[in-house]
A = this chain, B = another copy of it.
Amino acid sequence: MYYKHAVFEVEVKYRVPGHDVIKEKLKALNAKFLEHTEETDIYFNSPIRDFAKTDEALRVRIYGDGTVVLTYKGPRIGGIGKTREELSVTVNDLESLLEILRRLDFKEVARVIKRRDIYNYENFTIYIDIVEGLGNFVEVETMVNDRELINKATEEVLQLGDKLGLRRDWIERKTYLELVLEKNSMNKP
């Protein structure tokens, strides 16, 4: 029952000095440019446990075209990557959704705003991200529907990262949410 709808996102994030090199490499590999998006993510915390501690996330994502998606992310289960189970639904009304979450005592904790160019290469999705207040990142991602396949998929993601000139010491295991929360707490007087 539980696994029926499970999808595991196998993903490695790199903090990069800039995006010129990777864009050339993607071109050389004949990766397909899919789209440019602007995404605003609003993260909520649970009233009964601290998602920062349980490593879960509840996110409302607003895409540039106005599409609204509610996502629950389970704890990271991979090693070097940030594999999680994801459950998502598309919702027709942002304001009502936010108000429902507030009434159910979920508290907004942070907003992450990013512009991203999305590429496809073989089984992988590559995100070239500029995150407001955080800087430049690249995420390399694939999806598997079986927990057993995570390690193999992570290795493939890392090998593609190598090919794209992404240094392994650039790997950032923290989520954008964690990085934004860190930054916010450092900026407090």
Contacts and interface: CB of A to CB of B under 8 A. Distances in A.
Contacts of A186: none
Contact of A91 (B48, B90, B106): B90
A183 B90 CA distance: 35
A10 interface: no
A46 interface: yes
A184 interface: no
Nearest to A56: B103
B95 A88 contact: no
A105 interface: yes
A39 to B, nearest CB: 18
24 contacts: A5-B95, A5-B96, A5-B99, A46-B105, A47-B48, A48-B105, A58-B104, A70-B91, A70-B100, A72-B100, A72-B103, A72-B104, A74-B103, A87-B96, A87-B100, A87-B103, A88-B93, A88-B96, A89-B91, A89-B96, A89-B97, A90-B93, A91-B91, A91-B92
